[in-house]
């Protein structure tokens, strides 16, 4: 606003082309107006709504001119419109940064405009980019978790130096320095999936949410206003901790999270059974010895391993056991049996995620 209280009209720094044949004006959050000068062909070829709107240059909303070009005033947020126009000018290379935890936040505004203006091809491309960040199979989930574990090992070496300066920009740590800044964030993805009907995102996103500590809030962990809490939060992030934007969850999604998290805890007994189920003397060559080894493995799992960790992550727990079972002195028959049982249980866990989190109802409500 200027001194008279009138909105200031500013030219967008990059989306204002001198040879453009139309000026789009949209309000900014501060009340000013941002002007975009572009070629109308980018609008008409992508949107039947704009095609019809711009075919009537004598309409009331096209009588104004700015820098010699006709003006079309829109009520859309200027920042969201800028993101949309950037994508229209680069349709061939449209993509969101892979695994970026903030991609859903940037995409939601653009998707609303793409839906409003019936830009279906662009909408599909954006939704494909979002869904590609979330595993659709257990194998894809394992690959993503292995990638996170590897990154956590590499960054753990640098963690002490990352925590030295508490002064600037969340204790001097540049954005992207943490594991949490490099992998998808579940709550915003769930919110986007619910609003725009993207059910393929939900199973992996809800599972990730369920194994995230509810006290680990994305914004709170990056707020340096409280020096004591900031140091604790930075230590958690530097050690590979994960957070979520919990405030973005709607009530129905919060209830699904609570229900699913309880269901995940119930898998602990199934994991224990996979370790201790009786194999049978016909196949086991030393039942007494193998029973003792299975008991040792179970105790280590429950007292020192993933079995004692909360929130309980049964997919990680079973993968951990698959890795440690070869280190116990079991006969070949028992080792194969336990491995087979663990593989069966973890596939069942993955297959049951939609049921555990009641996602069939979430999908139907998002499409209604």
pLDDT single digits (tens) 52-89: 988 865 554 567 899 999 999 999 999 999 999 998 98
Looking at 2-11, 70-79, 206-215, which range is the least confident one?
2-11
Within-domain flag for 84: no
* pLDDT attached to residue 159: 43
Among residues 259, 275, 308, the one where a domain terminates is 259
Among 352, 348, 355, smallest CA distance to 318 is for 348
If asked whether residues 71 and 163 sit together in one domain, one would say no
pLDDT of 8 reads 86
Q: How confident is the model at residue 114 (pLDDT cuts 50, 70, 90)?
A: very high
Model confidence at 1, pLDDT cuts 50, 70, 90, reads: very low
pTM listed for this prediction: 0.87
Do 255 and 269 lie in one domain? The reply is no
State the pLDDT confidence band at 168, using cuts at 50, 70 and 90. Answer: very low
Helices 103-116 and 78-89, axial angle in degrees (round to 10): 90
pLDDT tens for 309-322 read 999 999 999 999 99
Residue 2 belongs to some domain of the structure: yes
* Domain presence at residue 150: yes
Whether 281 and 242 share a structural domain: no
CA dist., res. 218 & res. 170, Å (int): 12
Residue 194 has pLDDT above 50, yes or no: yes
Q: Is residue 94 part of a domain?
A: no
pLDDT at 301 over 50: yes
Pair (214, 276) in one structural domain: no
Residue 250 shares a structural domain with residue 302: no
Q: Is residue 179 part of a domain?
A: yes
Q: Is residue 123 part of a domain?
A: no
Q: Is the pLDDT of residue 345 over 90?
A: yes
**Which of 259, 286, 308 is the endpoint of a domain?**
259
pLDDT in tens, 320-333: 999 999 999 999 99
In a domain, 56, yes or no: yes
> Does residue 360 fall inside a structural domain?
no
Average pLDDT of the segment spanning 17-31: 94
Q: How many domains does the chain have?
A: 3
213 and 269 assigned to the same domain: no
CA 200 – CA 84 distance, rounded (Å): 24
Measured torsion, CA atoms of residues 320, 321, 322, 327, in degrees rounded to the nearest 10 = 110
Residue-wise over 191-214: b if at least 16 C-beta within 10 A, else e?
bbbbebebbbbbbbbbbbbbbbee
Same domain membership, residue 349 and residue 298: yes
Quickly state the pLDDT bin for 98 (edges 50, 70, 90): confident
252 plus 288 within the same structural domain:
no
| Mean pLDDT (whole number) for 16-33 | 94
* Residue 226, pLDDT score: 83
Burial 9-31 (b: 16+ CB within 10 A, else e): eeebeebbeeebebbbbbbeeee
Look at residues 224, 259, 294 and tell me which one is the last residue of a structural domain: 259
The range of the structural domain enclosing residue 27 comes to 1-79
Whole-number Cα distances in Å, 270 to 176, 189, 257, 263: 38, 30, 21, 12
What confidence category does residue 170 fall into, taking pLDDT thresholds of 50, 70 and 90? very low
Judgement on whether residues 255 and 141 belong to the same structural domain of the protein: yes
Q: Is the pLDDT of residue 164 over 50?
A: no
Give the integer Cα–Cα distance in Å for 151 and 267. Answer: 28
Q: Are residue 251 and residue 289 in the same domain, yes or no?
A: no
The whole-chain average pLDDT of the chain stands at: 87
Q: What is the pLDDT of residue 156?
A: 55
Are 166 and 214 part of one and the same domain? yes
Residue 100 pLDDT more than 60? yes
pLDDT for 74 = 95
Are residues 219 and 177 part of one domain?
yes
pLDDT digits (tens, 9 = 90+) for 123-160: 999 999 999 999 999 999 999 999 999 988 886 544 44
């Amino acid at each position: 606003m200027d001194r008279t209280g009138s909105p200031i009209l500013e030219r967008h720094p990059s989306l204002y082309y001198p040879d453009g044949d139309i000026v789009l004006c949209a309000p900014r959050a501060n009340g000013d107006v941002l002007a975009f000068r572009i070629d109308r062909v980018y609008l008409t070829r992508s949107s039947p709504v704009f095609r019809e709107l711009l075919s009537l240059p004598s309409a009331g909303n096209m009588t104004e001119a700015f820098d010699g070009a006709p003006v079309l005033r829109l009520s859309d947020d200027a920042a969201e419109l800028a993101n949309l126009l950037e994508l229209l000018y680069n349709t061939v290379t449209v993509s969101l940064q892979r695994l970026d935890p903030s991609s859903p936040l940037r995409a939601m505004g653009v998707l609303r405009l793409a839906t409003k203006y019936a830009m279906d091809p662009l909408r599909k491309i954006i939704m494909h980019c979002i869904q590609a960040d979330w595993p659709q199979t257990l194998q894809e989930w394992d690959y993503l978790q292995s990638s996170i574990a590897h990154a956590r090992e590499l960054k753990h070496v640098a963690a002490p130096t990352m925590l030295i300066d508490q002064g600037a920009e969340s204790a001097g740590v540049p954005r992207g320095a943490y594991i949490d800044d490099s992998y998808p964030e579940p709550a915003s993805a769930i919110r986007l999936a619910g609003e725009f009907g993207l059910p393929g995102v939900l199973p992996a996103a809800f599972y990730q949410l369920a194994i995230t500590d509810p006290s680990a809030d994305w914004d709170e962990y990056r707020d340096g206003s409280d020096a004591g809490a900031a140091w604790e939060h930075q230590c958690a992030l530097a050690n590979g901790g994960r957070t979520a934007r919990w405030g973005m969850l709607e009530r129905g999604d919060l209830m699904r999270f609570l229900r699913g998290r309880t269901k995940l805890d119930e898998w602990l007994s199934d994991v224990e059974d996979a370790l201790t189920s009786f194999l049978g003397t016909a196949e086991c060559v030393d039942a007494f010895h193998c029973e003792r080894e299975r008991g040792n493995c179970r105790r280590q799992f429950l007292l020192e391993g993933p079995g004692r960790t909360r929130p309980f992550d049964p997919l990680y727990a079973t993968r951990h056991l698959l890795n440690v079972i070869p280190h116990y002195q079991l006969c070949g028959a028992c080792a194969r049996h336990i491995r087979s049982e663990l593989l069966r249980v973890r596939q069942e866990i993955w297959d049951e995620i939609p049921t555990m989190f009641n996602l069939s109802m979430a999908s139907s409500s998002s499409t209604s």
